[in-house]
Chain A
Amino acid sequence: MSEIILVSAIWIAQGALALAMCLCTWRMVLGPRAQDRVLAMDALYVCAMLQLLAFGIRTGNTIFFEASLVIGVLGFVATVSLAKFLMRGEVIE
Protein backbone atom coordinates (compact mmCIF):
# COMPACT_ATOMS: atom_id res chain seq x y z
CA MET A 1 0.00 0.00 0.00
CA SER A 2 2.67 2.50 1.03
CA GLU A 3 4.70 1.60 -2.04
CA ILE A 4 1.75 2.44 -4.32
CA ILE A 5 1.27 5.81 -2.61
CA LEU A 6 4.96 6.67 -2.81
CA VAL A 7 5.48 5.51 -6.38
CA SER A 8 2.45 7.45 -7.65
CA ALA A 9 3.54 10.56 -5.71
CA ILE A 10 7.06 10.27 -7.18
CA TRP A 11 5.64 9.91 -10.70
CA ILE A 12 3.50 13.01 -10.23
CA ALA A 13 6.49 14.91 -8.82
CA GLN A 14 8.76 13.86 -11.66
CA GLY A 15 6.15 14.79 -14.26
CA ALA A 16 5.67 18.21 -12.65
CA LEU A 17 9.42 18.78 -12.54
CA ALA A 18 9.83 17.70 -16.17
CA LEU A 19 7.13 20.20 -17.16
CA ALA A 20 8.91 22.83 -15.07
CA MET A 21 12.16 22.12 -16.92
CA CYS A 22 10.33 22.51 -20.25
CA LEU A 23 8.97 25.89 -19.12
CA CYS A 24 12.48 27.02 -18.09
CA THR A 25 13.80 25.99 -21.48
CA TRP A 26 10.98 27.92 -23.13
CA ARG A 27 11.95 31.08 -21.22
CA MET A 28 15.59 30.47 -22.13
CA VAL A 29 14.68 30.28 -25.83
CA LEU A 30 12.29 33.24 -25.60
CA GLY A 31 14.76 35.58 -23.90
CA PRO A 32 14.23 38.46 -24.55
CA ARG A 33 17.53 39.60 -22.98
CA ALA A 34 20.65 37.92 -21.61
CA GLN A 35 19.61 38.26 -17.96
CA ASP A 36 16.34 36.41 -18.64
CA ARG A 37 18.28 33.55 -20.12
CA VAL A 38 20.65 33.43 -17.15
CA LEU A 39 17.70 33.42 -14.75
CA ALA A 40 16.04 30.62 -16.72
CA MET A 41 19.28 28.64 -16.63
CA ASP A 42 19.46 29.03 -12.85
CA ALA A 43 15.87 27.78 -12.53
CA LEU A 44 16.70 24.90 -14.89
CA TYR A 45 19.63 23.89 -12.67
CA VAL A 46 17.39 23.90 -9.59
CA CYS A 47 14.76 21.80 -11.38
CA ALA A 48 17.40 19.32 -12.54
CA MET A 49 18.64 19.06 -8.97
CA LEU A 50 15.13 18.34 -7.68
CA GLN A 51 14.55 15.86 -10.51
CA LEU A 52 17.66 13.94 -9.48
CA LEU A 53 16.50 14.03 -5.85
CA ALA A 54 13.17 12.49 -6.89
CA PHE A 55 15.04 9.87 -8.93
CA GLY A 56 17.16 9.04 -5.88
CA ILE A 57 14.00 8.49 -3.81
CA ARG A 58 12.44 6.31 -6.53
CA THR A 59 15.47 4.02 -6.84
CA GLY A 60 16.10 4.12 -3.08
CA ASN A 61 19.78 4.83 -3.64
CA THR A 62 21.61 7.55 -1.73
CA ILE A 63 24.36 7.99 -4.33
CA PHE A 64 22.06 10.32 -6.29
CA PHE A 65 22.05 12.87 -3.47
CA GLU A 66 25.75 13.50 -3.96
CA ALA A 67 25.13 13.98 -7.69
CA SER A 68 22.29 16.36 -6.83
CA LEU A 69 24.59 18.35 -4.54
CA VAL A 70 27.19 18.58 -7.32
CA ILE A 71 24.55 19.94 -9.72
CA GLY A 72 23.56 22.51 -7.10
CA VAL A 73 27.17 23.69 -6.70
CA LEU A 74 27.66 23.85 -10.47
CA GLY A 75 24.47 25.90 -10.87
CA PHE A 76 25.60 28.35 -8.19
CA VAL A 77 29.02 28.87 -9.76
CA ALA A 78 27.61 29.15 -13.29
CA THR A 79 25.00 31.72 -12.34
CA VAL A 80 27.40 33.83 -10.26
CA SER A 81 30.00 33.89 -13.02
CA LEU A 82 27.42 34.76 -15.68
CA ALA A 83 25.99 37.55 -13.52
CA LYS A 84 29.52 38.84 -13.04
CA PHE A 85 30.04 38.68 -16.78
CA LEU A 86 26.84 40.65 -17.44
CA MET A 87 27.94 43.27 -14.91
CA ARG A 88 31.53 43.83 -15.99
CA GLY A 89 32.05 42.09 -19.33
CA GLU A 90 34.67 39.82 -17.79
CA VAL A 91 34.59 37.11 -15.15
CA ILE A 92 37.94 37.49 -13.39
CA GLU A 93 39.30 41.00 -13.00
Chain B
Amino acid sequence: MTIDLADVPIWAAIPAAAFLVIGAGLSLLGTLGLVRLQTFYDRIHAPTLATSWGAGGMVMASMIIFTAASARPVFHEILIGIFVTVTTPVTLMMLGRATLYRDRMENSPDLPKAARHVPEPEDEEKEEQNT
Protein backbone atom coordinates (compact mmCIF):
# COMPACT_ATOMS: atom_id res chain seq x y z
CA MET B 1 0.00 0.00 0.00
CA THR B 2 1.36 3.40 -0.99
CA ILE B 3 0.06 6.86 -0.14
CA ASP B 4 0.88 10.36 -1.25
CA LEU B 5 1.66 12.86 1.49
CA ALA B 6 -0.26 15.56 -0.43
CA ASP B 7 -3.49 13.61 0.18
CA VAL B 8 -3.25 14.20 3.93
CA PRO B 9 -5.69 16.96 4.99
CA ILE B 10 -4.29 19.88 6.95
CA TRP B 11 -6.18 19.07 10.18
CA ALA B 12 -4.42 15.69 10.26
CA ALA B 13 -1.02 16.99 9.11
CA ILE B 14 -0.55 19.39 12.02
CA PRO B 15 -1.00 16.87 14.89
CA ALA B 16 0.96 14.26 12.95
CA ALA B 17 3.86 16.68 12.46
CA ALA B 18 3.72 17.56 16.16
CA PHE B 19 3.81 13.90 17.15
CA LEU B 20 6.74 13.27 14.78
CA VAL B 21 8.81 16.11 16.19
CA ILE B 22 7.95 15.27 19.80
CA GLY B 23 8.77 11.58 19.32
CA ALA B 24 12.08 12.18 17.60
CA GLY B 25 13.02 14.98 19.98
CA LEU B 26 12.39 12.82 23.04
CA SER B 27 14.43 10.00 21.52
CA LEU B 28 17.27 12.47 21.06
CA LEU B 29 16.86 13.62 24.66
CA GLY B 30 17.03 10.03 25.88
CA THR B 31 20.25 9.29 24.03
CA LEU B 32 21.67 12.60 25.25
CA GLY B 33 21.04 11.28 28.74
CA LEU B 34 22.77 8.05 27.76
CA VAL B 35 25.90 10.05 26.97
CA ARG B 36 25.70 12.63 29.77
CA LEU B 37 24.72 10.66 32.88
CA GLN B 38 27.47 9.49 35.20
CA THR B 39 26.89 5.92 36.40
CA PHE B 40 25.41 2.91 34.63
CA TYR B 41 22.45 2.81 37.02
CA ASP B 42 21.54 6.35 35.97
CA ARG B 43 22.16 5.67 32.31
CA ILE B 44 19.89 2.63 32.16
CA HIS B 45 16.88 4.93 32.67
CA ALA B 46 17.67 7.26 29.78
CA PRO B 47 16.88 5.14 26.67
CA THR B 48 13.41 4.31 28.02
CA LEU B 49 12.42 7.80 26.89
CA ALA B 50 13.03 6.66 23.30
CA THR B 51 11.08 3.45 23.74
CA SER B 52 8.06 4.98 25.50
CA TRP B 53 7.27 8.44 24.14
CA GLY B 54 9.65 8.25 21.18
CA ALA B 55 8.18 5.10 19.69
CA GLY B 56 4.67 6.09 20.82
CA GLY B 57 4.84 9.48 19.12
CA MET B 58 6.23 8.12 15.85
CA VAL B 59 3.66 5.28 15.74
CA MET B 60 0.86 7.75 16.52
CA ALA B 61 2.01 10.08 13.73
CA SER B 62 2.22 7.27 11.22
CA MET B 63 -1.25 6.01 12.20
CA ILE B 64 -2.73 9.50 11.77
CA ILE B 65 -1.04 10.05 8.39
CA PHE B 66 -1.92 6.67 6.88
CA THR B 67 -5.50 6.76 8.19
CA ALA B 68 -6.07 10.27 6.84
CA ALA B 69 -4.44 9.64 3.46
CA SER B 70 -6.06 6.31 2.63
CA ALA B 71 -9.49 7.29 4.08
CA ARG B 72 -9.82 4.07 6.09
CA PRO B 73 -8.51 3.08 9.54
CA VAL B 74 -4.91 1.82 9.44
CA PHE B 75 -3.82 0.37 12.76
CA HIS B 76 -1.10 -2.14 12.03
CA GLU B 77 1.68 0.22 13.21
CA ILE B 78 0.34 -0.20 16.73
CA LEU B 79 1.97 -3.65 16.72
CA ILE B 80 5.36 -1.91 16.86
CA GLY B 81 4.25 0.21 19.80
CA ILE B 82 2.89 -2.78 21.72
CA PHE B 83 5.98 -4.86 20.99
CA VAL B 84 8.39 -2.14 22.12
CA THR B 85 6.36 -1.44 25.26
CA VAL B 86 6.31 -5.12 26.21
CA THR B 87 9.95 -5.96 25.48
CA THR B 88 11.79 -2.91 26.89
CA PRO B 89 11.22 -3.69 30.60
CA VAL B 90 12.27 -7.30 30.02
CA THR B 91 15.58 -6.43 28.36
CA LEU B 92 16.49 -3.60 30.73
CA MET B 93 15.56 -5.67 33.79
CA MET B 94 17.83 -8.49 32.61
CA LEU B 95 20.65 -6.08 31.81
CA GLY B 96 20.28 -4.38 35.20
CA ARG B 97 20.33 -7.73 37.00
CA ALA B 98 23.43 -8.81 35.09
CA THR B 99 25.18 -5.54 35.95
CA LEU B 100 24.22 -5.82 39.61
CA TYR B 101 25.61 -9.33 39.68
CA ARG B 102 28.87 -8.27 38.03
CA ASP B 103 29.29 -5.23 40.30
CA ARG B 104 28.64 -7.31 43.43
CA MET B 105 31.21 -9.86 42.33
CA GLU B 106 33.84 -7.12 41.96
CA ASN B 107 32.53 -4.96 44.86
CA SER B 108 32.55 -2.04 42.45
CA PRO B 109 32.41 1.57 43.79
CA ASP B 110 29.65 2.32 41.24
CA LEU B 111 27.28 0.11 43.20
CA PRO B 112 24.55 2.09 45.03
CA LYS B 113 24.82 1.86 48.82
CA ALA B 114 21.47 0.16 49.28
CA ALA B 115 22.47 -2.62 46.87
CA ARG B 116 25.85 -3.24 48.47
CA HIS B 117 24.77 -5.86 51.00
CA VAL B 118 25.24 -9.34 49.56
CA PRO B 119 22.97 -11.81 51.36
CA GLU B 120 25.01 -14.66 52.83
CA PRO B 121 23.57 -18.18 52.80
CA GLU B 122 23.32 -18.06 56.64
CA ASP B 123 21.27 -14.85 56.51
CA GLU B 124 18.85 -16.43 54.10
CA GLU B 125 18.41 -19.41 56.41
CA LYS B 126 17.71 -17.09 59.34
CA GLU B 127 15.16 -15.15 57.30
CA GLU B 128 13.46 -18.38 56.33
CA GLN B 129 13.28 -19.43 59.96
CA ASN B 130 11.83 -16.07 60.96
CA THR B 131 9.07 -16.16 58.36
Chain A interfacial positions (CB closer than 8 Å to B): 1-3, 5-10, 12-14, 16-17, 19-21, 23-24, 26-27, 30, 33, 35-36, 38-40, 42-43, 46-47, 49-50, 53-54, 56-62, 65, 68-69, 72-73, 76, 79-80, 82-84, 86-87
Q: What 8 new A-B contacts, CB under 8 Å, besides A3-B13, A36-B43, A65-B62?
A: A5-B10, A6-B20, A12-B20, A21-B31, A27-B31, A42-B47, A50-B58, A84-B98
Q: Is B16 within 8 A of A20, CB to CB?
A: no
Number of A-B contacts (CB under 8 A): 185
- Complex Cα distance, B101 from A87, in Å, reads 7
A-contact bits for B92-128, CB 8 A (1 contact / 0 none): 1011011101100000000000000000000000000
Q: Are A6 and B17 in contact (CB under 8 A)?
A: yes
Interface size class of B (residues with CB under 8 A): 35 or more
CB within 8 Å for A46 and B47 given contacts A13-B23, A72-B80: yes
Main secondary structure of the interface of B (DSSP, over half): helix
CB contacts (< 8 Å) of B46 on chain A: these are 43
> Which of chain B's residues 43-92 have a Cβ closer than 8 Å to chain A?
43-44, 46-47, 50-51, 54-55, 58-59, 61-62, 65-66, 69, 74, 76-77, 79-80, 83-84, 87, 90-92
Query: Which residue of A6, A35, A42, A87 is within 8 Å of B13 (Cβ)?
Result: A6
16 contacts between A and B (CB under 8 A): A2-B8, A9-B16, A12-B21, A20-B31, A21-B31, A23-B31, A23-B35, A43-B30, A43-B31, A47-B27, A57-B20, A57-B65, A58-B5, A60-B4, A60-B69, A83-B97
Tell me the bound Cα distance from A1 to B11 in angstroms: 11
A-contact bits for B1-21, CB 8 A (1 contact / 0 none): 111111011101110111011
